[in-house]
Amino acid sequence: MAEQTKKPLKNEKVGQVVSTKAAKTIIVEVSRRVPHPLYKRIVKKRKRFHAHDEEGRAKMGDIVRIMECRPLSRTKHWRLTEVVRRAPQVGVQPEELDVKV
Does residue 81 come out as left (phi exceeding 0), alpha (psi in the -120 to 50 range) or beta? alpha
What average pLDDT does the segment 89-95 reach? Answer: 67
User: Could you give all domains of the chain from N- to C-terminal order, each with its CATH number?
Assistant: 12-88 (2.40.50.140)
Question: How does pLDDT run across 29-78, given as a tens digit for each residue?
Answer: 999 999 999 999 999 999 999 999 999 999 999 999 999 999 999 999 99
Residues 6 or more apart whose Cβ sits within 8 Å of residue 37: none
Q: What one-letter code names the amino acid at 60?
A: M
Which residue from 76, 55, 65, 53 is spatially nearest to 10, judged by alpha carbons?
65
Whole-number mean pLDDT of the chain? 89
What average pLDDT does the segment 79-101 reach? Answer: 76
What average pLDDT does the segment 15-19 reach? Answer: 97
Q: For residues 30 and 2, what is the distance between their CA atoms, to the nearest angstrom?
A: 40
Look up the pTM and report it. Answer: 0.77
